[in-house]
Amino acid sequence: MIKCYQGGGTILCPNIKDKKTFKEYQKTNPDFIIPLMYDVIGRNILKNNKKLLLLIINNVLNTSFKLEDITIKDGRVKREWKKEKGRECDILVEIGRNVINIEINKKHTNTKDRKNMSYVGNLYNNYYDYEICQININDYDIFKEGEEIYISMIREMTTGFERIENLKIYDLNVGIFKERCYTNSRRYDKDFITLMKIFESKSRKEIEKEIKDSILLREVYKMQDKLNREDFVLERFPDDLLHELEKKEFKEEGIKEGIKEGIKEGIKEGIEKRNIEIIEVLLNDGMNEEKISKLLNVDIEKVKQVKKNL
């Protein structure tokens, strides 16, 4: 059973006339699935699957932690200042003397950077004698240098000495991983490489093709599929995804309407052409204009125009 965490990162699906709800969209587009990149899906799966957490942590940090060592903590880190907003981080894990915060970040904003840094600051205040690490799973290249993973530390600028030795931030670029990591299998596990390939995927067929050889990722996909059918997910999902679906739907409807109108115009033009041919034959046979107009139910001026062009 999946324990569902409903907070953060989503808005209610707007109830606008002539726009399908997401649930209706799913019915007419069965291949579509909300991807792991959206925290309403990714966070819930990570909090309910320690094997997946371990896969990400060991591959990003290049460690060999064991499953039995992982403890998933309450993401509501104690606040140091009363005026600070009490937000909950996505994932908080304790492994021995290591505290690891995992954040799923869709689209880069300064607000998101500040929020993630506030988590790091709070973790340091609460776990100052631990090894502290934040892993950001991003759908963007935060430093625009084309690296799979960036590692940030607090250093003294002149000498380069580490100011805080027990704090590191790892920024993982899903897009770069998807393009490159399959060529670097010595560094990363096969399941981790596949996970990066499917993390942003909105296609069930694409995901099913990639995960067919992985027991763990098939298990993750089942959880993802189940969450995609949960009412709270169907009613609460990211606004940018809603706009993307609406844009696609509008385009598809436009194509359909264009085809329909094209068929109508084609039929109309065909009838018009055929009427002209019949008028020409009847005029050549000597029938007068009024009789042709009544027989074919066309305007007499049209008949005169055809006669003029003979």
How far apart are alpha carbons 152 and 167 in whole angstroms?
Answer: 9
| Number of Cβ within a 10 Å radius of residue 47 | 21
Q: Which amino acid belongs to residue 57?
A: I
Which residue from 153, 157, 85 is spatially nearest to 118, judged by alpha carbons?
85
| pLDDT at residue 289 greater than cutoff 80 | yes
The per-residue pLDDT for range 201-256, each reduced to its tens digit, is: 989 999 999 999 999 999 999 999 999 888 777 665 555 555 555 555 545 554 45
pTM over 0.85: no
User: Phi then psi for 84, rounded to 5 degrees?
Assistant: -70, 140
The residue with greater pLDDT, 35 or 13, is 35
pLDDT over 60 at 292, yes or no: yes
The tens digit of pLDDT for each residue in 269-282 reads 666 777 777 778 77
Give the confidence band of 63 by pLDDT, cuts at 50, 70, 90: very high
Residues 210/211/212/215 CA torsion (nearest 10 deg) = 160
- The pLDDT value recorded for residue 3 is 53
Q: pLDDT, tens digit, for every residue of 94-110?
A: 999 999 999 999 888 88
CA terminus-to-terminus distance, the chain: 81
Task: Measure CA 289 to chain center.
Answer: 66
Contact 56, 192 (CB under 8 A): yes
